[in-house]
Amino acid sequence: MFKWIRFIKLFKNIFGKGLPDLNKIQKQGLLAIKIGQTFALRINFLGEEKCTHLAKLYSHTIAVSADDFDNIVDEHVGKQWRDQFASIEKNTH
């Protein structure tokens, strides 16, 4: 999907009727989460109820599996990052 369409859907989710769907925001990635967190502070735009709901993005986030984490880091940093460590413990808490 085009990035601008996802951006429009994000704002429709935040500014639309009812409370924003936090799972949809989180699934759109870190930028969408940061935008949601920023609007959580803007009671003058959204009202207290929506801001309180969006503030949950500060503490309730979707966990990333160890394999997904490795894939994300490999994609953005390269696989050579592993060479910097003697060992890496995969913690799945």
pLDDT digits (tens, 9 = 90+) for 56-66: 998 866 667 77
Number of domains forming the structure of the chain: 2
Same domain, residue pair 25 and 8: yes
Same domain, residue pair 25 and 52: yes
Per the structure, the complete domain to which residue 79 belongs is given by 63-93
Q: Is the pLDDT of residue 78 over 60?
A: yes
Cα 7 from chain centroid (whole Å): 13
Q: Which two tokens stand for residue 55?
A: 């503030």
Give the C-alpha separation, 60 to 88, whole Å. 26
Same domain, residue pair 78 and 40: no
User: pLDDT, tens digit, for every residue of 11-47?
Assistant: 999 998 999 989 889 888 888 899 999 999 988 888 8
Q: Which two tokens stand for residue 84?
A: 């910097």
Same domain, residue pair 48 and 69: no
Give the C-alpha separation, 78 to 72, whole Å. 9
Same domain, residue pair 11 and 53: yes
Claim: this prediction has a pTM higher than 0.75: no
65: alpha, beta or left, given left = phi > 0 and alpha = psi -120 to 50? Answer: beta
Same domain, residue pair 83 and 40: no
Q: What is the secondary structure of 3-21 as a DSSP string?
A: HHHHHHHHHHHHHSSS---
